[in-house]
Structure formats: structure tokens, C-alpha cells
Amino acid sequence: MDMQLSGRVAVVTGASKGIGLAVVRTLLDEGVRVVATSRKPTPDLDALAGPNLRHVPVDLMDPDAPAQIIATAVAEFGALDILVNNAGGPPPGVTLPRTSFLDAGDEEWRDVFEFNLFSVVRTIRAALPHLIERGGGSIVNISSVNARQPSSMNVDYGAAKAALTNMAKVVAVEFGSQGVRVNTVSPGPVRTAWWTDEGGVADIIAERAGSDRDTVMDSLVPEMMGLVTGRLVDPQEVADAVVLLASPRSAGTTGADLAVDGGYLKAV
């Protein structure tokens, strides 16, 4: 299927690995010119280097970073058509998971909201004038199933993502008449570095459960979370949903929240 994306310009945050890297790779394959942002590049992102890719090293905890990213995209490629707000998860210096509401104080809550909500608000605010000038475009925000399924694990993260999902629907309504579509993709547990790195979530759970990293990811977590597919989600599966929503093929879809979660969410 032709996604009708060739020649368009996209910004992807959190682009150096995992879901963000898969989104960048897929957009490039569709002929999109991409500004990819992360605190630093990775060998996997560097391997995608070419005339259609520009990496901007920024820290989204800096309130000025979003405007810098959007300005770079317009300066480099002349326009903006697509914004993928993928950056999220634990802010720099924060280790997740937390297992109780009492595990995080005010500063931890502020940092999680700064990274997972306020940086997205600022990036959308910076992007909207350019999308409107272009006659419309697509914003896709990466949220989480924790936005829809409250949990005592990482409660601050889940609350920030719930706010993100709510905000996206509001922006979709306000700017839909100007051609701007806003949708959300909510992944379940995805096999990314957050799980697989040494000292990552899989190791933390394995230590508490008296197990090992591979068992945690291959069977313990899928069973514990009731994943219908019996496995963690692959980053490419999330990227495919993102690119479909970014495409004019989804012109009739806005204000939606698409779960790519292995069947974790079961409520109607």
C-alpha cells in the first residue's frame, strides 16, 4: 500500500532507539524527510544517515528545545507535515519501575510530567502554526496503556500519559477544521532497551521474582499482564501504526487512541 507520504517532512522525538528508531526508519522508507531528535545519536540511528535525515541533539527537559526542533525542521526541509511525539518514559536520572504511590515525591512527579506531558505540549505548540500554514498535517503522540488502565506501578507515569491522551483529543477538536489531525498510539509492554538493557526493567523484575531476564520477558510478564498474543510487542508493530496514522490514508481518523498492546486492554 502506498502511504502517500513521499516528500513530506516529519519530526520524530526520542528517535535514537526503540519505537522512535523504528518510526524514523519506516518514514524514511516511505520517502519522508525526517528530523530525528534525541539527547545523543546511536549507531543504529547513524546507520540511517542520508540526505533525508537530520539529527538534532536536544534534551526535552529544556523548555526551549521543542521550538528549536521545529525551527530546524522548517529551516532544513522548508515545511512541516508530521509530528511524532515519541519521547517519554523515565526522565534522565530516573529509574522505573516504581511499585507504590508512595515511591515518588513532588520532584519525581514534576520530572515525569515535564518529560512525558509538558515537552509534548511545547512541541505541539511550536508545530501547529507550521502545520496550519501547510494546510494541515498529522500529529501522532505515543501514550501508554497505563493511561487507560490505572496501576500502582509507575502511577506518576500513568497519570502523565492519561493527561497526554486527554490533551490530544482536545487539540484534535480545536484544530481539526484547519486540517490538523491528532491521534494517539498507546503501546503495551514493548521489547525495547527500557526492558532489555542490563539493569533495565526485566532485570529489576527478575531480581524481585527470583527469575532471569529472558524468562521475565518471554513468559512472566506476558502471563502477569494477560497479553493475548503471549509476547511483548515489537517496536516495528508500533511504528507501523504510527505511520498509518501519519498518512493521508487515515484522513478520516482524528482524536483516536489506538492500542498496540498484545491484547492487554480488554475493556470495551
Sheet strands side by side (includes 9-12): 53-57, 33-38, 9-12, 82-85, 137-142, 180-187, 257-260
Predicted confidence at residue 116, as pLDDT, reads 97
Q: Predicted confidence band at 41 (pLDDT cuts at 50, 70, 90)?
A: very high
Asked whether residue 99 carries a pLDDT value surpassing 90, the answer given is no
Residues of the chain with CATH 3.40.50.720: 9-189+234-260
Is-contact 34 59, C-beta < 8 A? no
Instruction: Classify domain 9-189+234-260 at the CATH class level.
Output: alpha beta
Predicted confidence at residue 152, as pLDDT, reads 82
Give me the residue label for grid cell 493511561.
Answer: 147
Active site residue 157: yes
Higher pLDDT, 268 or 135: 135
Mean pLDDT value of segment 230-240 = 97
Predicted confidence at residue 227, as pLDDT, reads 96
Asked whether residue 80 carries a pLDDT value surpassing 90, the answer given is yes
Asked whether residue 268 carries a pLDDT value surpassing 90, the answer given is no
- Taking alpha carbons only, the member of 172, 165, 196, 192 closest to residue 265 is 165
Q: Predicted confidence band at 21 (pLDDT cuts at 50, 70, 90)?
A: very high
Predicted confidence at residue 193, as pLDDT, reads 85
Predicted confidence at residue 93, as pLDDT, reads 81
Is-contact 83 139, C-beta < 8 A? yes
Lowest mean pLDDT among 17-26, 198-207, 258-267: 198-207
237 phi-psi bin (left φ>0, alpha ψ -120 to 50, beta other): alpha
Mean pLDDT value of segment 105-132 = 97
- d(Cα 161, Cα 155) in Å, to the nearest integer? 10
Mean pLDDT value of segment 254-264 = 97
Mean pLDDT value of segment 202-231 = 91
- The chain-wide mean pLDDT, for the chain, equals 95
Per-residue pLDDT tens digits for 156-183: 999 999 999 999 999 999 999 999 999 9
Asked whether residue 202 carries a pLDDT value surpassing 90, the answer given is no
Higher pLDDT, 224 or 194: 224
Q: Please give the model's pTM, rounded to 2 decimal places.
A: 0.95
Among the listed residues 113, 115, 118, 157, the single catalytic one is 157
Identity of the residue numbered 234: D
- What percentage of the chain carries pLDDT values higher than 70? 100
- d(Cα 253, Cα 181) in Å, to the nearest integer? 7
Q: Predicted confidence band at 153 (pLDDT cuts at 50, 70, 90)?
A: confident
Predicted confidence at residue 138, as pLDDT, reads 98
Mean pLDDT value of segment 227-244 = 97
- In terms of DSSP bridges, do strands 257-260 and 180-187 run parallel, antiparallel, or are they unpaired? parallel
| Residues facing 190 on adjacent strands | 233
- Taking alpha carbons only, the member of 227, 210, 212 closest to residue 263 is 227
